[in-house]
Homo-oligomer: A and B are copies of this chain.
Amino acid sequence: MINLLVVGTIAYDSIETPFGKVEDVLGGSALHFTNAASFFADVGIVATVGRDFDLAAIGFLSERSVDIKGISIDEGRTFRWEGRYGYDLNQAVTLKTELNVIEQFKPKVPDEYLGADFIFLANIDPELQSHVIDQLKRPATVVLDTMNFWIENKFSALIEVIKRVDMLVVNESELREITKEYSLVKGAKKIMELGPTCIVVKRGEYGVLMASQDELFLAPAYPLEEVFDPTGAGDTFAGGFMGYLANVGSVSQDTIKQAIVMGSVMASFNVEDFGINRIKRLEYNEIRERYKAFKKCLHFGDIEFR
């Protein structure tokens, strides 16, 4: 029985960083998300792939209680993305996007997924995100991601779906673009006026800021010596974040903060190798160890005042 549902993309990515180059490696928001979340929750994926997709290559997910029957194999080629990073790995330059099967994607949630208490709507057309919410039959915690393309091209559909979700997880540049506020705190407040009660702002190598009605929370990113490939770090963060929430089964302020830390831990692994490779070979014990190391980097004891 799955407790976490993700609707998003599965892709073949071609990536160039200062450290190397790969072609047609597994990627896409739903896959990065699931790869991370599967350490904590029973995940169901809704996504589309083309006839060219090698399903055996994601067989390893079944060993982690991932249900892939929501992946529909459609006529055409799998979605492809090609991008390049310079030394400043915060910004990808998109070289090519081939939508392929994505163009006709109309997500259908299998009945057995409708009982999930946690739903992640990864970055796809906001109209399709609303279409997923339409299919839900019981209350669930729905978390939304998006990207600049939809902000610029489907703004009103995006605002409509934002009104229907519980949390928004976006990059700081996306929050600024949606709200026209430079201040993240002010921007988060504007989004909360629309409905969501919690805004999680991803700041790449600088970590995460969370704003809710009563609280602000800051988590830096784990300080790695080398970042190899940041592709999918945001979705991996979301996977750790929501996997943790689904596992605990609650969304208290404390749980949300802990989930953000877990998301940050998972993202720190993702960037250590191309595509999904690092988290594919990750062991649960490594998560525990990195969390300990991370926590050590954040500890400073108590300041004495006169």
Contacts and interface: CB of A to CB of B under 8 A. Distances in A.
A297 interface: yes
Contacts of A217: 297-298, 300
A215 B300 CA distance: 12
Interface in A267-306: 284, 287-288, 291, 296-306
Interface stretch (A27-35, A55-63, A108-116, A220-228): A220-228
Contact of A185 (B220, B223, B257): B223
Nearest to A222: B218
A223 B218 contact: yes
A183 B226 contact: yes
A281 B84 CA distance: 49
A247 to B, nearest CB: 8
Nearest to A288: B305
A12 to B, nearest CB: 28
A241 to B, nearest CB: 12
A209 interface: yes
Nearest to A88: B182
A297 B216 contact: yes
Contacts of A261: 300, 303
Interface in A194-242: 203, 206-207, 209, 215-220, 223-227
Given A183-B226, A291-B305, 5 more contacts: A88-B182, A183-B224, A218-B298, A244-B303, A261-B303
Q: Which 5 A-B pairs have the closest CB atoms?
A: A257-B300, A218-B220, A206-B206, A87-B182, A185-B225
Interface of A: 87-88, 182-186, 203, 206-207, 209, 215-220, 223-227, 244, 248, 254, 257-258, 260-262, 284, 287-288, 291, 296-306
